[in-house]
Amino acid sequence: MRHILLIGKDGQLGQELQQVLAPLGEIKSVGRDSLDLANPEAIAKMVAEVKPDLIVNAAAYTAVDKAETEQDLAQAINGIAPGILAKQAQEIGATLIHVSTDYVFDGSQSHPYLETDPTQPLGVYGQSKLAGEQAILSTQANAAIVRTAWVYGVGGKGNFVKTMLRLGAEREELRVVCDQVGSPTWTGDLAEAIVQLSQQINPEIAGIYHYTNSGVTSWYDLAIAIFEEAKQLGFPLKIQRVVPISTAEYPTPARRPAYSVLNTQKISAILGSYPPHWRQSLRKMLSKLAKKG
């Protein structure tokens, strides 16, 4: 029987992971209330208590803009905690799967980023996530770091898809950024990929992997797709027009990469197939959301 420790059970990815990891063994799922990643002693204590074979870390400080003024907290959770987890995993021979981000790149490239491409975060969140990757890689743990991007799911506090549905129900017109492109990624697919990877990862193939849904789009085009699909599914919508705007017209405290596309060839070779196209997965997620009501 495998013992699994899932950290970050209440996040949008964590909720999905709880379901797909459960059949693999005995799972201990913890949220911030029972394990605060900003507290190094608590991490060591939890790992010693659970003695897992597999640790999956879906928790993170994800408030990209707020991180600009909460640097120490972002660094503690995203930069330091993953290294402590990796050390603990190494000590007891456990496998660690950790989730990271496209924000480790500056987005100046114009072809999909490889795992080996140089990193250059644009803000505090990206810097803290990169520090977490480096802390894990500095240990000898059997660990996989899965970088993903533009994540959305049915659960959790919020994401772009749910925000568009809420605003589209209230307003006739929305202005959405059209000069940032990436690959929207459904937590359902990402969680399945993590489960498959967790069963295959070994010290020879430990390291960084890129996983997103296939295809490339802008936030503007994603908004259009959300409304098209949602209309067909009968979501209540007032929206009449989506207006494309530039990033310069929508300033935020943290800069975002303009080009966030990740090359998924490496993980696809291990999983045996490329990730589903983002539009197909968006449809699936919206159907689930519609059924949930």
| Enzyme catalytic residues | 125
Q: Which is nearer to ligand NAP, 59 or 237 (CB)?
A: 59
- Nearest residue to 48 (alpha-carbon basis) of 2, 94, 14: 94
**What is the smallest separation between the CB atom of 234 and ligand NAP, expressed in angstroms?**
26
The dihedrals phi and psi of 176, each to the nearest 5 degrees, come to -135, 140
**What is the smallest separation between the CB atom of 34 and ligand NAP, expressed in angstroms?**
9
Q: Which of 148, 180, 183, 264 binds ligand NAP (CB under 6 A)?
A: 148
CA-atom Rg of the chain in angstroms: 19
Query: Taking CB under 6 A as the rule, does residue 151 contact ligand NAP?
Result: yes
Q: Look at the chain and count its residues.
A: 293
Return the beta strands (E) in the chain as ranges.
2-7, 25-30, 54-57, 95-101, 142-148, 151-152, 173-177, 181-182, 185-186, 207-210, 217-218, 241-245
- The dihedral formed by the CA atoms of 29, 34, 37 and 38, expressed in degrees to the nearest 10: 170
Query: Taking CB under 6 A as the rule, does residue 52 contact ligand NAP?
Result: no
Instruction: Give the x/- contact pattern for ligand NAP in 98-127, rule: CB under 6 A.
Output: -x-xx-------------------------
Q: Which of 59, 96, 225, 239 binds ligand NAP (CB under 6 A)?
A: 59
The residue whose Cβ lies closest to ligand NAP is 11
What is the DSSP track for 166-193? HHHHH-SEEEEE-S-EE--EEHHHHHHH
Q: Which residues ranging from 234 to 263 are in contact with ligand NAP (CB under 6 A)?
A: none
How far is it, in rounded angstroms, from Cα 249 to Cα 231? 28
Q: Which is nearer to ligand NAP, 194 or 230 (CB)?
A: 194
**What is the smallest separation between the CB atom of 84 and ligand NAP, expressed in angstroms?**
12
Q: Which of 80, 83, 128, 150 binds ligand NAP (CB under 6 A)?
A: 150
Which stretch of DSSP H or E encloses residue 84?
helix 81-92
How far is it, in rounded angstroms, from Cα 150 to Cα 219? 9
User: How crowded is residue 175: how many other Cβ atoms within 10 Å of its Cβ?
Assistant: 14
Query: 166 forms bridges with which residues in the sheet?
Result: none
Which tokens belong to 90?
């190494």
Q: Which of 2, 3, 10, 167 binds ligand NAP (CB under 6 A)?
A: 10
Q: Which of 6, 12, 135, 186 binds ligand NAP (CB under 6 A)?
A: 12
**What is the smallest separation between the CB atom of 156 and ligand NAP, expressed in angstroms?**
4
Q: Which residues ranging from 177 to 236 are in contact with ligand NAP (CB under 6 A)?
A: none
Q: Which is nearer to ligand NAP, 155 or 237 (CB)?
A: 155
CB 28 within 8 A of CB 202: no
Q: Which of 21, 77, 94, 143 binds ligand NAP (CB under 6 A)?
A: 77
Query: Taking CB under 6 A as the rule, does residue 61 contact ligand NAP?
Result: yes
Instruction: Give the x/- contact pattern for ligand NAP in 17-46, rule: CB under 6 A.
Output: ---------------x--xxxx--------
Instruction: Give the strands of the sheet with 54-57, arranged side by side.
Output: 25-30, 2-7, 54-57, 95-101, 142-148, 207-210
**What is the smallest separation between the CB atom of 36 and ligand NAP, expressed in angstroms?**
5
Instruction: Please give the residue ranges that form the binding site for ligand NAP (CB under 6 A).
Output: 8, 10-14, 32, 35-38, 58-62, 77, 99, 101-102, 129, 148-151, 156-157
